[in-house]
């Protein structure tokens, strides 16, 4: 795939130049009009490459077919998401290309330093072409590197029309970053035996286990009176919110957990004496532990309401589940991905995702869908970077998956 290096680099720079942040406060689907516009652009790119049956539906989903698939072969889907995180700016991304990376610190704007001391993974890529943003935005490799890897692989097949391949379908989805990526996606229309999201991190990653995930929104209604005459009357919603947070295990937060440890994560707190809203995400690999965490949140709210009267309201809902519960009984796509990586000279790294993918939802909708690396690191912030060679290897793995069995 090395002869596609310039193609992939230019395509990636083009994709990240378009702001496609999702919006978790929006009531529309997709959550931002920029994703619809981006989908139209992807539709055009698919058509230019030579894919067929290219469509964009009313929800923004872009689907396409790699023409010429063996009708007797399995049907495989390749999926990547269009949106970038709403939590950090994805507007006016200015990519910086660090060719033949020397293994030293990379200085970005605002004294942002991408250092191998802080991020040891960088040291693996000495001699590679490293792509970063300029320190004022995220890069957008999550998941435009996945989109780029898929399109580069499809370009390879278009340039080699005599190469036989399986039945391959493509899908680009909106709103993955806010947990709604395949909420309205039709599994029946996509019609695949199984699929892969191309949405993972470093080279070699193969994921078929994710968190179980829930979200808790706690609204505290206080009582505000003049502080000079507030004794035994005022109920300060901000202080009650702080009290609620103090009742959670202090070491069960993202900054103090790793590997298979779950957590409670306070993502935002907004309000005043009269009204304060807490937003949490709850994560656990183990289903029983997951249920226990949710029960704990409910118990805390019950105790607060017992203490202060009906003061706190809890909205608690599940977002996605651990895909391993499905994929443990469907080894075929996992084994095919392992084989494809080894053919590309990559040793698969089986990593449990401390997060989720569209594949978490799809697997529970009867479309088994493990996740394959796209090459990026440090997503959702100014330290994000992408080794170009890793993204090219992702495209090579996709090609190997798609090729007809000998």
Rounded Cα distance, 130 and 127, in Å: 9
Strands 75-81 and 194-200: parallel
Cα gap 131→145, rounded to integer Å: 11
3-state secondary structure of 189: helix
176 catalytic residue (yes or no): yes
Residue whose structure tokens are 């698939």? 69
- Whether 58 sits among the annotated catalytic residues: the reply is no
The order of strands in the sheet holding 385-387 is 96-98, 130-132, 385-387
Sign of CA dihedral 304, 309, 313, 314: positive
User: Alpha-carbon distance 91 to 103, whole Å?
Assistant: 28
Tokens 């993202």 belong to 254
CA 330 to chain centre: 23
Backbone angles phi, psi at 164, to 5 degrees: -75, 150
DSSP H or E segment with residue 198: strand 194-200
Q: Which two tokens stand for residue 159?
A: 């340039």
252 is written with which tokens? 């069960």
Catalytic residue among 83, 177, 199, 396: 83
Nearest to 138 by CA among 260, 21, 43: 21
* 147 token code pair: 């989109």
Provide CB contacts within 8 A for 15, sequence distance 6+.
Answer: 140, 144, 147, 148
User: Minimal CA–CA distance to 190: which of 77, 35, 28?
Assistant: 77
Catalytic position from the list 142, 143, 175, 176? 176
| Long-range contacts, 327-330 (Cβ 8 Å, 24+) | 327/208, 327/209, 327/363, 327/368, 327/370, 330/194, 330/368
Question: Residue 403's beta-bridge partner residues?
Answer: 165
Partners of 235 in the beta sheet?
Answer: 223
50, burial (CB in 10 Å: exposed 0-12, middle 13-18, buried 19+) = middle
Segments of 244-299 assigned E as strands: 263-271, 275-284
C-alpha dihedral over 114, 382, 5, 349, to 10 degrees? 80
Write out the catalytic residue numbers. 83, 176
């Amino acid at each position: 795939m090395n002869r596609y290096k310039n193609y992939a680099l230019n395509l990636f720079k083009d994709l990240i130049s378009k702001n496609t942040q999702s919006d978790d406060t929006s009531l529309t689907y997709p959550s931002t009009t920029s994703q619809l516009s981006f989908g139209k652009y992807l539709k055009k790119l698919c058509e230019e490459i030579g894919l067929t049956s290219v469509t964009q539906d009313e929800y923004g989903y872009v689907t396409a077919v790699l023409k010429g698939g063996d009708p007797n072969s399995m049907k495989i889907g390749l999926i990547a998401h269009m949106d970038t995180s709403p939590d950090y700016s994805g507007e006016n991304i200015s990519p910086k290309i660090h060719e033949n990376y020397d293994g030293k610190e990379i200085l970005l704007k605002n004294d942002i330093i991408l250092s191998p001391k802080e991020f040891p993974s960088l040291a693996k890529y000495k001699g590679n072409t490293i792509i970063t943003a300029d320190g004022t935005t995220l890069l957008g490799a999550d998941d435009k590197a996945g989109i780029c890897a898929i399109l580069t692989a499809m370009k390879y097949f278009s340039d080699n029309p005599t190469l036989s391949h399986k039945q391959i379908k493509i899908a680009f989805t909106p709103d993955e970053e806010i947990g709604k990526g395949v909420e309205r996606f039709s599994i029946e229309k996509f019609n695949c035996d199984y699929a892969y999201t191309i949405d993972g991190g470093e080279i070699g990653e193969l994921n078929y286990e994710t968190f179980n995930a829930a979200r808790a929104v706690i609204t505290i209604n206080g009582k505000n009176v003049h502080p000079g005459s507030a004794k035994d009357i005022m109920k300060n919603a901000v202080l009650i919110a702080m009290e609620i947070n103090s009742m959670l295990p202090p070491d069960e937060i993202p900054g103090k957990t790793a590997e298979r440890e779950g957590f409670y994560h306070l993502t935002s707190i907004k309000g005043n004496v009269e009204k304060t809203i807490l937003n949490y995400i709850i994560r656990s690999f183990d289903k029983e532990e997951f249920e226990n965490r949710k029960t704990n949140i409910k118990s805390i709210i019950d105790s607060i309401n017992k203490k202060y009267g009906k003061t706190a309201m809890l909205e608690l809902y599940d977002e996605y589940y651990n895909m391993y519960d499905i994929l443990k009984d469907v080894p075929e796509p996992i084994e095919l991905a392992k084989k494809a990586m080894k053919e590309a000279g990559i040793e698969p790294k089986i990593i449990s995702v401390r997060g989720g993918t569209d594949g978490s939802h799809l697997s529970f909708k009867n479309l088994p869908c493990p996740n394959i690396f796209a090459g990026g690191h440090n997503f959702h912030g100014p330290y994000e970077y992408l080794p170009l060679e890793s993204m090219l290897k992702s495209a090579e793995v996709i090609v190997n998956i798609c090729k007809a069995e000998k």
